[in-house]
Amino acid sequence: MILIYTSKNIKHKAERVIQEHGTNDVCEICDNLNISILKSNLGRIKGFLQYYKKHHHYLIQVNQKYHNAKIIIAHELGHYFLHKNLNTFKMENCSLVLGEKLEHQANIFATELLLPDYVLANETTQLQNWSLDQIASFFQIPLFIVEHKIKHMNLLTPEKTVNQNILTALN
């Protein structure tokens, strides 16, 4: 059975993971779950989640060429928490639309894991009048994660600046 996740469901799932593990540090979460992380040359592939049924063990493969492994790991943790009972390789071969949907869901999970609301709330006064690029640099995450987070928090409106909307949404 395939579960249908909304962005809100995924956000709540990421929040529960952070609460259960006491952190949003992806390496620490993997350690807690006994998920091994292996860096290797994967060509064009950034990373993937692999399950070894014989040993009941998960492994996240990360492309060593990619400079920000925590994003790949967060994305693969999205697959672990949202899709671990699905054969995503098989599904992607059967339906491009379904494959894209699963990847989108894993991206939302990664965004919510790496940039949870409380992190933004703790830094609101410092973030005032900052550009999205500056916010991404401050948190050491790619711009697309900040953009995705801002978009899903409905913080972009013409009459207010992004920073005013962050303050409003988080208070």
pLDDT bucket at 97, cuts 50 / 70 / 90:
low
The answer to whether position 138 is within a domain reads yes
Task: Report yes or no on whether pTM surpasses 0.75.
Answer: yes
User: Of 68, 67, 64, which Cα lies nearest the Cα of 38?
Assistant: 64
CA pair distance 144, 73, nearest whole angstrom: 16
Q: What is the CATH number for 16?
A: 1.10.10.2910
- Judged against a pLDDT cut of 90, whether residue 148 lies above it is answered with no
Q: How many CA atoms lie within 13 A of 117 on its CB side?
A: 19
93 & 19 share domain: yes
96 & 49 share domain: yes
30 & 74 share domain: yes
Give the CA distances from residue 120 to residues 33, 53, 124, 127, 151, in Å, rounded to whole numbers and listed in that order.
Answer: 26, 39, 6, 8, 14
| 20 tagged catalytic | no
pLDDT of residue 23: 96
- Provide the 8-state DSSP code for 115: S
User: Of 69, 59, 66, which Cα lies nearest the Cα of 44?
Assistant: 66
**Terminal CA-CA length for the chain:** 38
Higher-pLDDT residue of 159 and 151 is 151
Domain span at residue 140?
118-170
Domain's final residue, options 114, 129, 157: 114
129 & 110 share domain: no
69 & 109 share domain: yes
- Give mean pLDDT, residues 115-137: 87
Tokens of 148: 């995705």
The answer to whether position 12 is within a domain reads yes
C-alpha torsion angle, residues 111, 115, 117, 121 (rounded to 10) = -160
Query: In this predicted model, what pLDDT tens digit does every residue of 22-61 receive, in sequence order?
Result: 999 999 999 999 999 999 999 999 999 998 888 889 999 9
CA pair distance 120, 103, nearest whole angstrom: 25
- Give mean pLDDT, residues 104-126: 89
The answer to whether position 1 is within a domain reads no
- Judged against a pLDDT cut of 80, whether residue 83 lies above it is answered with yes
Which of 76, 92, 103, 147 is an active site residue? 76
Q: How crowded is residue 96: how many other Cβ atoms within 10 Å of its Cβ? A: 9
122 & 96 share domain: no
